A and B are shown apart, each in its own frame.
Chain A
Amino acid sequence: MSTSDIPDIPLYASAKKVYPQSVRGTYRRIKWGVLFVCLGIYYFLPFLRWDRGPNLPNQGILVDLVNRRFYFFPIEVWPQEVYYFTGLLVLAAMVLFLMNAIAGRIWCGYLCPQTVWTDLFLHVERMIEGDRRDRMRMDEGRWGPGVLARKAAKHFIWLMIAWWTGGAWVLYFADAPTLVRELASGTAPAVAYIWIGILTFTTYTLAGIMREQVCNYMCPWPRIQAALTDDEALNVTYRYDRGEPRVSVKEAARRKATGEAAGDCVDCFQCVAVCPTGIDIRDGAQLECIQCGLCIDACDTVMTKIGRPKGLIGYDTDGNVQARAKGLPERPFRPVRPRTIIYFAIIALVGGAMLYQLATRATAGISLIHDRSPLFVTLADGSIRNAYTIRLINKRPDSRLFALTVEGPAGARIELVNVSATADWRPVVAVEPDSTREIRALVTAPKSAFSGKSVPIVIRASDLFAGEDVAARDHFFGPG
């Protein structure tokens, strides 16, 4: 093979800047609504209070890394319960799949943070630099002081939004009002400033500069979505059966008169102009399409103006479009079908299991570690003693008393090192609200009760007042 056979093109495609045009319509309004709700939740949720009593923080949502707790309104999650997040991730994936099976990339088009912030940043850009044509002209022309001032203003406002985004993020990790005061007075911990810095940078870069590149190259979901979709899901679709062949209004009138075929698409390129990822929806379903519906608004506006019915671009199923193109009857859209039923069943199952687990979980816990050195001790009277390190867990917001008992070799008794309180001869331990306590326990059994090298043993902790009862198993060792 000679060098002339190798195509002389670079493998790297440099990004083409997209200048989305502003648009009005139903989907634009929906997107604004979703944007306000989502950003409102994100920016203000940390300030929502939730009373948990005097011993716990009163912030609705709080990731308390220092004390290793996660608070979500009435739910408090300890580090060992982090498997709830596995459940949440399964739910998140399944909800995403379900949304996809019903109406395509709803997540991408309306809910994804990348979309929401990019939308906001684009709006700022339009407010300052003007609409599509103005911005294109500005970038082509020479940069005078006016242009520079406008660019500077845009980047300044972007950075302010990005900074606020980072600022809101750290509020989820500490008491929000306190942290706001600390940030304002410059006394917040360094880690807060560092994270604000990181998130300011990522927000500014992802939403301001990279935009659709994130969806096209960084995000795995478009690839997965393409493999999961079917011809029964609603997608933002160009109804080519109606639009083709594309001809101008005048030409269409001429063709109609002569009985020639003429589609409804007038090739005005408005759908392309408004597209935030810079694609042509008329090329069919494609990876870059985030299905935000803005091309539907753009096309509907044009169709209304030229007096044709709306919906040349609209939410439709692939199956329907193909059926119409072949002149077959339409298939009604079926949101309830095996695929969605299965997704829904998995969601119900996982969600139900999580709720059940949450509702029935214990508020006390006990774990044991048997001392290894020495494994057992012979006492002066010949009886055998084993030592255990016990960790008692109290997940309630008030202090609790636990009485400890032992079940195992006959005549075995339990005593605690450096704890002297008892109730009915049982040693009693106080555990502080919402915390754990480690204690060393000595279990002694008479030699006569002991046969073999090891016997099973159960150490039980019973709440003296609330009646909760937890136990842990281990072994009791002896000389055999």
Chain B
Amino acid sequence: MAGHTEEHDAVTGRTTTGHEWDGIKELNTPLPRWWLNVFYATIIWSIGYFIAYPAWPGVSSYTRGVLGYSSRADVAVEVEALKARRAAQAADLATVELAAIKADPKLLSLAIAQGKAAFGDNCAPCHGIGATGSKGYPNLNDDEWLWGGTLEDIHTTLKHGIRSSNDADTRISAMPAFGRDGILKRDEIRMVANHVRALSGQPTEAGYNRAAGEKLFADNCASCHGEKGLGNRDLGAPNLADAISLYGNRLEDIVETVTNSRAGVMPAWAGRLDPVTVKSLAVYVHSLGGGQ
């Protein structure tokens, strides 16, 4: 770099900056005035902005600005507005009977929409997204119900739960642990398990004796499950003669069930969710396909 003499450039009619790098000179082309003015204006604007809005970070906090703006407060307002709107929409859901919801297409679609959302948030962890269930968690799409599949039954189960420790009205049933408690012997359990398989028309083991199985079943199981194993909803005793079994219908599954018993738990939702949501859930589950 050498020299600092400004030159007049004949072609453009402008001067150079006076700098020179290895013979290369640069035309002096100042920023357009309008651009510069806009730039200054933004600087002035930013001063006002710093004063009015949150701007400078501190060590543990930040300057809050004189307008007191906060995006978090904005969200809170929007959430409140949404809640108010939902409450208005759901006003009818809160007062109307379950059966009447079913009869009103508008309320029905609202309840199903709300129920579906609530199901995903609260029920899906156990029952699965499509309420498909899995071992120990009932499939809610089918027509087998431990505690009844009418709207009212489902609503009651939802409200009070099953074997829920903090609800006095919870659904409760207790099958004895026939093996663990020494009621039945090992071979007897195997015999009765074979009989349970026979009830739903499945093949049995070689050593299975129908008369002995029937007797064992009648003495130990029929009081709850019925003579033919058709179950009893008042007691929460499942139907053993159909194609659906909550804990599996392989021989070892049934042996395990008879030996140690099963006691699945569902929380009581009455205290956790608001009544409208519980109602909506009942309607949604009832509409999945198995509702009675």
Contact = CB atoms under 8 A, between A and B. Distances in A.
A210 interface: no
A442 B102 contact: no
A378 B289 CA distance: 12
Nearest to A4: B11
Interface in B113-148: 128-132, 139, 141-144
A184 to B, nearest CB: 33
Contacts of B131: 374
B128 to A, nearest CB: 7
A373 interface: yes
Nearest to B109: A418
Nearest to B200: A382
A320 to B, nearest CB: 50
B170 interface: no
Contact of B129 (A373, A377, A381, A418): A373
A234 interface: no
Contacts of A373: 128-130, 132
Given A3-B11, A373-B128, A374-B130, A382 B289 contact: no
Interface in A329-380: 371-374, 377-380
B141 A381 contact: no
B243 interface: yes
A3 to B, nearest CB: 7
A239 interface: no
A275 B143 CA distance: 83
A49 to B, nearest CB: 33
Chain B interface residue bracket vs A: 20 to 34
Interface residues of A, number: 18
Contact of B242 (A3, A8, A382): A382
Chain A interface mostly: loop
Contacts of B261: none
A378 B290 CA distance: 11
Given A371-B130, A385-B289, A387-B289, A377 B141 contact: yes
Nearest to B105: A418
Contacts of A8: 11
Interface string B243-283: 11000000000000000000000000000000000000000
Contacts of B132: 373-374
A380 B130 contact: no
Contacts of B158: none
A1 interface: no
B239 interface: yes
Contacts of B164: none
Given A374-B130, A377-B139, A381-B242, A442 B289 contact: yes
B242 A380 contact: yes
B128 A379 contact: no
B285 to A, nearest CB: 12
A246 interface: no
A418 B287 contact: yes
B128 A380 contact: no
Interface string B224-245: 0000000000000001001110
B287 A379 contact: no
B108 interface: yes
A3 B143 CA distance: 91
A372 B287 contact: no
B287 A417 contact: yes
A380 B11 contact: no
A426 interface: no
Contacts of A377: 139, 141-142, 289-290
A413 to B, nearest CB: 13
A298 to B, nearest CB: 43
Given A371-B130, A372-B130, A373-B132, A380 B142 contact: yes
A380 B243 contact: yes
Select the residue from A8, A371, A378, A440 with max chain B CB neighbours within 10 A: A378
Given A373-B129, A373-B132, A374-B132, A379 B11 contact: no
Contacts of A374: 130-132, 139, 141
Contact of A380 (B105, B129, B141, B143): B143
A134 to B, nearest CB: 35
Contacts of A440: 287
Contact of B108 (A3, A378, A380, A418): A418
Contacts of A372: 130
B14 to A, nearest CB: 14
21 contacts: A8-B11, A371-B130, A372-B130, A373-B128, A374-B130, A374-B131, A377-B289, A377-B290, A379-B243, A380-B143, A380-B239, A380-B244, A382-B242, A382-B243, A385-B142, A385-B289, A417-B289, A418-B105, A418-B287, A440-B287, A442-B289
Interface of A: 3, 8, 371-374, 377-382, 385, 387, 417-418, 440, 442
Given A380-B244, A440-B287, 9 more contacts: A373-B132, A377-B141, A377-B142, A377-B289, A378-B142, A379-B142, A379-B243, A381-B242, A382-B243
Top 5 nearest A-B pairs by Cβ distance? A373-B130, A380-B242, A382-B243, A374-B132, A377-B141
